[in-house]
Structure 1
Amino acid sequence: MEEHNKSEDEHRLSLSRRDVLKSGSLLLTLPFVSLKLRAAPDGEKTSSLPTGEGEKVVATCSTFDCGGKCDIRAHVTDGVVTRISTRPDNELDPEMPIMRACVRGRGYRKFVYHPDRLKYPMKRVGKRGEGKFVRISWDEATTLIADNLRRITTKYGPESRFMHNNTATSGGAFSGDGMMKRLLNLTGGYLSYYHSVSLGNTVAATPYTYGVAASGNSLDTLKDTPLVILWGHNPTETIFGHTNHYFQQMKQNGTRFVVVDPRYSDTTSSLADEWIPLLPTTDNAMMDAMMYVIISEGLHDKAFISRYTLGFDEASMPEGVPANESLVAYLMGQKDGVVKTPEWAESITHVPAQTIRQLARDYATTKPAALIQGWGPQRHNCGERTARGSTLLATITGNVGVKGGWAAGYGGCGNRKFTTGVETLDNPVKENISIMNWVQAAEDASKVTPEDGLKGGEKLKSNIRILFSLAGNYLANQNPDVNQAVKVLEDESKIEFIVVSDLYMTPSAKYADLLLPETSFMERWNIGETWGTANYLVLSEKLIEPEFERRSDYDWQRDVARKLGVEAEFSQGRDEKQWVEHIWQQTCLAMPDEKLPTFEELQITRRHLFKSAPWVAFEENIRDPQNHPFPTPSGKIEIFSQRLYDMHHPEIPALSHYVPAHEGPEDPLTTRFPLQLITWKGKNRANSTQYANPWLQEVQAQKLWINPLDAEPRAIQQGDELRIHNERGVSLVEAEVTQRIIPGVVAMQAGAWWQPDSQGVDHGGCANVLSSSRITALAKGNSHQTMLVEVAKHESV
């Protein structure tokens, strides 16, 4: 095998750049070849490691907003990336490990060199959504943008301008969406939005317990933790920063992992000592029952609760609140007559009472223990309650602010560092909306009120009339209730001009009036930024020149700015690389103690690792509460939140206890749609990005997981084509009959491309034709995981 690989390498390196580009099929099907690289410690040049005649290996990363900026080694020969490798094992820095490339990272070359990539600017000639376009020049394209910006701004005001910030580029410090904000702000402003579809509900809810959102530790603090409960957390597939590096070490050291999830995920398979499946949206019922067991059996941390918390029992309640509103009163049924026993929870969650009882005892008596909640559970319309429920469990067991524990809730690490990013300038438009309001703001802005999520004003001054979608597929694919969204997009009397910039003809791109061919991360300069608990920055260097007429967003934005008369102020005379250098220089000034390398040095070292001391959220608050109170109104951990209590909203109780969810298992709608559909983030794409990559389609086929107990009465067998439907839409997908999903629940991977036929039936397994646009009560966020469906074998005509 080694001799075969060697001969293939020699043959490939003998090809000229012209020959390689002509031989597209060869380029796209070359196998990955293992290559032994010498170690390249910090400070040694790694940007150009010669491995053969004419070949260099460039250490880089993608700028997709996926779980971590993994170490990608691009093998470049004569201006062509011939293959991708990754960091050798002997380059691991144990103080801040950088991920090795996952299957997504290994597939980037096929994604970049795919023949279906957009090549030229085009304008629409058919109806919106038909996908009919004609090629135009870049001069015509940028003139269309400038003219429509002038016309629409003059007619409707800057409030009519809107832009989607999408995850295909938002993992980098410099991106087209940031520069588009700068351009819009220079010319009057735009309607902005808040809320993250990924984690916005839990970010909004966690501060009602702790006063701030960031409640996670650095993972090096967990190395000696004996028990970890992963509640709806699936890092093995989502590639959540460097989480798997630490979890695998902990597993080898004897840490016991319990996974609570309706689906037997790859994380469950690789880590779990115990899998506890429960019905989606019933998490709080199980949490309530666990707290009942812990308190009724005297396993709670009494000293911790007495010193640091508010609202545990009647004696620790704020003044003026009626009796029986405390946690103990709720759990013991003193208000509603229902004692929250494991038997009560079993009927709701379908988790056996003894399993709940034992997990509660294990969590309370194992010191320390970490309950780490993923972002999936908070994407339900009960997600805010679930997020806070986990914080209450962590609190009553004394696992907050201690090494080896975990405060639950959002879980973001408070010591992470980022670049300064682009100066987008002040936005003159002060109103902003939730991301969940944009369809409504395009259809009838008068219906977007503060109660629905409007901030900064009492009403919007205009409907959305011009929309920019840059490097994303949210408009007609990732948006909850796709069918509702595309009705608005199709109506040209609503949004008058839509600009889409992307690499592929995505479902959203088909709704463009102007479609622009974007560059990939290999064709531009950037700096990769991590998320999760990883803490490093990686240079993402321009590796190859764009082919055909592809241009970066910033490149064409400079032309638009010139035609609007603001180019000098917009660009500051900087090209793309100079902007990245400027961002790095500003970051160096903002972090003088970090001793960051110069930009010239960064091009040699390729990365900067923040080797900070282990971080434990709320450690100072617990060690010295007198001088470091929690940033809540009471200065304590608020088990009972008076702020939530004063809202008088049944869906956001002050204790965040169980409330039956809309389209949950107790909804009367189950008589028509008896199955709960959930989705998961798969290992072969980041949201819908890389869906078009055929290598990654082979990694995991789009199928609907259904339990045999649900399949049998429907006469469904493995491989059948299924019809999934509810009142919002219909999708067709292949059946995967498996016990890896709990009965009563079906599941399929998120991010499949919407493929409607003439009747509007989706043939791509796109869950967003079935998901709801209902907003959550507190954050005004998304609840697209909460959906009831029915499934039947599809009878083709």
Structure 2
Amino acid sequence: MEDDSQLRVTPFATHWGTYHAEVRGGKVVGVRDYADDPDPAVIGPGIVDMVEHPTRVGRPMIRKGFLEKGKDSDRSGRGREPFVAVPWDEALEIASGELDRVRKAHGNQAIFGGSYGWGSAGRFHHAQSQVHRFLNCIGGYTPSIDTYSYAAVSAISPHVVGHFARLVLNQATAWPHIVENCELMVMFGGMAIKNAQVTSGGVGRHTTREALLAAKRNGTQFVSVSPLRSDAIDLLDADWVAARPNSDTALMLALAHTIHSEGLHDQAFLDRYCTGFDRFLPYLTGQSDGQPKDADWAAGICALEAEMIRSLARRMAGKRTMITVSWSMQRADHGEQPGWMAIVLAAMLGQIGLPGGGFGIGYGSENGIGNPVLPFKFPAVPQGQNPIAEGIPVARISDALLHPGEPYDFNGRRTTYPDLRLVYWVGGNPFHHHQDINKLVSAFQRPETIIVNEIWWTPMARHADIVLPVTTVLEREDIAMTHWEPLIVAMRQAVEPVGDARHDYDIFSGLAHKLGVGETFTEGRSPEDWLRHLWDQARQRAAEANFELPSLEELRAREMITLPDPDRHPVLLESFRNDPEGNPLETPSGKIEIFSERIAGFDYDDCPGHPAWMEPYEWLGGPDAEHYPLHLVSNQPRTRLHSQFDPGSVSRASKIQGREPMTMNPIDAAARGLSEGDVVRVFNDRGACLAGIILSDTVMPGVVQLSTGAWYDPLEPGVVGSLCKHGNPNVLTRDKGTSRLGQGPSAHSTLVEVEKFEGPLPPITAFAPPPIKERD
């Protein structure tokens, strides 16, 4: 019998690092960083008090009004009504009954399967795979298309250079080539190390900081174009170009204009590897519209000195230059343009396909980008085939719920929103990542039924009808393995499931059996059987690529293994550069498309056939700045992944009087009579929230920075337009697609005003469970 006082140490992996859990008496009491990690994430210890946090969903729950009246309940009760605890079998009976009712009455396209994939770093207990497999087993569902992270650039990339994830991300020029060859790195959107804490699927060694510093030691110079000086670590000594937010495409055009007008471009590269430069050039020079896109023109848009722009262009043309674009750049109005223009600018320099030159999109946005990619693909839980062909862009969920049957454009297609009657959400919190939460609250009052598998009482769980409690990563067995990371981790169960929590797999198995597809979903396998099946597949694929993996028993005994470095480190588009005829791109022309006939054929006024500067709907250079003179940067947080672990000790330690911190330039604060530590009201026409003030000149004047992820905490739950007491910036952002091409989120085109909050501060209630009623 185990001594309760004995300390056990158990390995596990997360999207932000690899750890050993310290367990005593069946409780998690601490975590240890992976010993070989040179730059551990600050997020890690936040899990300790989250396993048994008061906001844990302990039992299956049904919203009181839904339990009484089902689909005919008052849906405005979502977010404010109490919940009733019910036994598992009853919860599964109600949930399966609703799924069956909706698919029979309205068709499977009326079911939306929402999941964002960050629920677990483990390969088997991957929430997105589990829910999609289950829904496909019962006839399919309406899926979401692409990601909030990079929807706009993902949509434009196949038309211009090739598939975004498969090419631009997975074949990104590896850090060793940058360290050895790059002379100048120009970072549009900077390269914030806090974002590189994470990689989808797990992290062993955090490599971004050490790679940047190695490049610095080898002579690389850095330029960071961002409204935040902190988007480049101080040790890089980066030149800070504080361009007005959303003006980056204009700056890139001006750089291109100088390079072309001074004869610094590589015409031979443009002729051989690109198409459409001749169609783009009249716009660049002003021949087509009377306005040259020169440095003097851009200076007024970007609030920069024209000579500085010209000087930067000459530096770029005179050195081996890597142009990088952060994912945050394209989460703005016309977000497709900066990614496209960065590719054009790199093509004009003629260094695409050379080690340390060309372009990259996403360095620093995840730790894995720039790491050598393994030459084989790890297996995943098979999701099956979805008979429902039509999905919706991921950032258009509110529009789909509010406007069923209405037409919209997306990437060359004209289609209509489905009539969604049931939402099944697993492994995600849209009240973190979706724009205009007040609109989202209204949207989530529309479907007949909302089912959520969730660990904690997140805002999404509070707005559900049926909440099914799920285990944490520390309460189950799994394996962490991802192609961006050589470390494979045997994730061992550290503690017993808390309360009545079950694995997603067990929940879906139960629902599948009630719906008559139990064997189809499980294939007769237990979770342990699935883990062995997936590991056997991994061993086979690795062997085919001349990598040897041990047995599952040996992996568990060793706890983790590190695969050897691949023989070859990628250089983005190197094979294309070496032989463009033999290795054509997956574009219509097989070349880099500076002008896209396909996009031009879509006839979108918000995304023409070549990259262009188009004024954002909301920015400091526009008329709205008269009323709302501060540009809001709602970037990713440092103390959590998205909204995960916001109630934990690490995130809460960063708060100011319990509110999310907001960084502001002292000049702007002085003009409003604000001091460090004040709680302020941040507002515009869409909504308002409270935040605590940090004063710093690392934020340019006219800009405030308020990270996403503070759990939505309305003063009046369930009421559209209520003040968020806690500091969620998405009560302020506009829910508008980047363009008709990408339909991505445009959160970074947001203006606000700030004033000191007067009166007693309302208490934070985001981390307290909703009222729970026992059955009469």
TM-score by shorter chain over 0.5: yes
Task: Please state if 1:780 is matched with 2:735.
Answer: no
Equivalent in the alignment of 2:262: 297
Q: Is 1:123 equivalent to 2:62 in the alignment?
A: yes
Is the 1:168–1:689 Cα contact (8 Å) retained in structure 2?
A: no
Aligned to 1:308: 273
Secondary structure in 1 aligned to 2:229? coil
Distance in 2 (alpha carbons) for counterparts of 1:427 and 1:380: 31
Indicate conservation of the 8 Å contact 2:734/2:747, yes or no. yes
Q: Structure 2 vs 1, CA of residues 431 and 535 (structure 1 numbering), >3 Å: closer, same or farther?
A: same
2:325 paired residue among 362, 373, 376: 373
Q: Which residue of 2 aligns with 1:11?
A: none
In the alignment, is residue 729 of structure 1 matched against residue 687 of structure 2? yes
Match of 1:581?
532
Change (3 A) 1:364 1:240: farther
Give the counterpart of 1:424 among 341, 358, 383.
Answer: 383
Report how far residue 15 of structure 1 moved: 11
The amino acid that maps onto 2:328 is G
CA drift at 1:233: 3.7
Match of 2:563 in 1: 609
Residues 77-88 of structure 1: pairs in structure 2 closer than 5 A = 77=24, 79-88=26-35
Q: CA deviation at 1:546?
A: 0.8
Higher mean C-alpha deviation, range 171-180 or range 121-130: 171-180
**Correspondence 1:212-223 to 2 at 5 A:** 212-213=163-164, 214-215=167-168, 216-223=172-179
Question: For residue 717 of structure 1, what is the amino acid of its counterpart?
Answer: S
* Aligned partner letter, 2:458: T
CA deviation profile, 1:708-766 (whole Å, cap 9, x unmatched): 33223322232222221112111111222322111222211111111111271111110
SS in 2 for 1:223: helix
1:195 maps to 146
Separation in 2 of the partners of 1:754 and 1:672? 25
Secondary structure class of the residue paired with 1:288: helix
Residue 498 (structure 1) shift: 1.1
Distance in 2, Cα, partners of 1:632 & 1:176: 33
Q: Is the CA contact (8 Å cut-off) linking 1:434 and 1:453 kept in structure 2? A: no
Q: What does residue range 397-546 of structure 1 map to in structure 2 within 5 Å? A: 397-409=349-361, 415=373, 418-447=377-406, 449-451=407-409, 458-459=415-416, 463-474=419-430, 476-490=431-445, 494-530=446-482, 534-546=485-497
Q: SS of the residue aligned with 1:71?
A: strand
Partner residue, 1:356: 309
The structural deviation recorded for 1:81 is: 3.3
Question: Partner residue of 2:643?
Answer: 688
CA distance in 2, matches of 1:105, 1:727: 37
2:287 matched to which residue of 1?
Answer: 334
What secondary structure sits across from 1:110 in the alignment? coil
Q: 1:108 to 1:253 in 2, by over 3 A?
A: farther
Question: Where does 1:203-218 land on structure 2 (aligned, <5 Å)?
Answer: 203-213=154-164, 214-215=167-168, 216-218=172-174
Q: Determine helix, strand or coil for the equivalent of 1:451.
A: strand
Judged with a 3 Å threshold, the aligned counterparts in structure 2 of structure 1 residues 586 and 201 are, in CA distance, closer, same or farther, namely: same
Read off the aligned partner of 2:59 and give its amino acid letter. Y
- Paired with 1:578 and 1:133, the residues of 2 have a C-alpha distance of 36
- Between the aligned partners of 1:169 and 1:789, the Cα distance in structure 2 is 32
Structure 2 CA distance, aligned partners of 1:221 and 1:535? 18
CA 1:237–1:445 in structure 2 vs 1: closer, same or farther (change >3 Å)?
Answer: same
Q: Secondary structure at the match of 2:634?
A: strand
Say if 1:732 and 1:741 are closer, same or farther in 2 by CA, change over 3 A.
same
The alignment status of 1:795 with 2:753, answered yes or no, reads no
Instruction: Indicate conservation of the 8 Å contact 2:686/2:733, yes or no.
Output: yes
* Distance of aligned partners of 1:496 and 1:607 in 2 relative to their CA distance in 1, 3 Å threshold: farther
Aligned partner of 1:596 among 540, 544, 549: 549
Alignment of 1:747-786 (within 5 A): 747-758=705-716, 760-777=722-739, 778-786=741-749
Q: Which moved more, 1:518-527 or 1:225-234?
A: 225-234
Provide the secondary structure at the position in 1 that maps to 2:193: helix
2:183 to 205, 214, 226: 226
Assess, with a 3 A threshold, how the Cα gap between structure 1 residues 407 and 534 changes in structure 2: closer, same or farther.
Answer: farther
Of 343, 346, 349 in structure 2, the residue corresponding to residue 391 of structure 1 is: 343
Verify the 8 A CA contact 1:388 1:409 in the aligned structure 2: no
In 1, are the aligned partners of 2:639 and 2:654 still within 8 Å (CA)? yes
Q: Is the 8 A contact 1:206 1:388 kept in 2?
A: yes
Taking the aligned partners of 1:723 and 1:703, their CA distance within structure 2 comes to 12
> How many aligned positions are there?
715
Q: Return the TM-score normalized by structure 1.
A: 0.85
Distance 1:378 1:179 in 2: 30
Displacement after TM superposition at 1:249 (Å)? 2.2
Is the 2:198–2:641 contact (alpha carbons within 8 Å) kept by the matching residues of 1? Answer: no
The one of 14, 17, 20 equivalent to 1:73 is 20
Aligned counterparts, 1:131-170, within 5 A: 131-169=81-119
Deviation larger for 107-116 or 429-438 = 107-116
Match of 2:204 in 1: none
In 1, the alpha carbon distance for the partners of 2:564 and 2:597 equals 38
CA distance in 2, matches of 1:163, 1:404: 41
Distance 1:170 1:336, change over 3 A: farther
1:194 maps to a residue whose letter is: I
SS of 2:395's partner is helix
* 1:622 positional shift: 0.5
Task: Supply the AA of the counterpart residue of 1:745.
Answer: V
Quick one: structure 1 residues 358 and 609, their matched pair in 2 at CA, closer, same or farther if it must change by over 3 Å? farther
Which consecutive residues of structure 2, in runs of 5 or more, have no partner in the other structure? 66-76, 200-206, 364-368, 761-776
Deviates more, 1:296-305 or 1:194-203: 296-305
- 2:68 is aligned to none
> C-alpha distance in 2, partners of 1:437/1:326?
31
Report the AA paired with residue 391 of structure 1.
Answer: I
Structure 1, residues 261-312: CA drift from partner, whole Å, max 9, x if none? 1112253334342111111110001101111122222222233223222233
Contact 2:646 2:711 in 1 (8 A): yes
For the residues of structure 2 that align with 1:597 and 1:699, how far apart are their CA atoms?
42
Equivalent position amino acid for 2:518 in 1: E
Q: Which residue is 1:673 aligned to? A: 628
Letter in structure 2 aligned against 1:435: V
Letter in 1 for 2:42: V
Deviations 1:633-682 (A, max 9, x none): 22222222222222232321322121111112333222322221111212
Partner of 1:707: 665
Counterparts of 1:244 and 1:581 in 2: how far apart (Å)?
Answer: 36
Distance in 1, Cα, partners of 2:454 & 2:38: 27
1:436-459 per-position Cα deviation (integer Å, ceiling 9, x unaligned): 232232233111x3515797x944
Identity over aligned residues, as a percent? 30
Contact 1:754 1:765 in 2 (8 A): yes
- Give the Cα separation in 2 of the matches to 1:295 and 1:693: 53
In the alignment, which residue of structure 2 is the partner of 1:42? none
CA offset at residue 699 of structure 1? Answer: 4.2
Q: TM-score w.r.t. structure 2 length?
A: 0.87
- Measure, in 2, the Cα distance between the counterparts of 1:703 and 1:622: 47
Task: Write out per-residue CA displacement over residues 571-622 of structure 1, whole angstroms, 9 at most, x where no aligned residue.
Answer: 1122223222222222333442233333333323424536221111111110
**Change in 2 beyond 3 A, CA 1:711/1:15:** farther
Q: Which residue of 2 aligns with 1:634?
A: 589
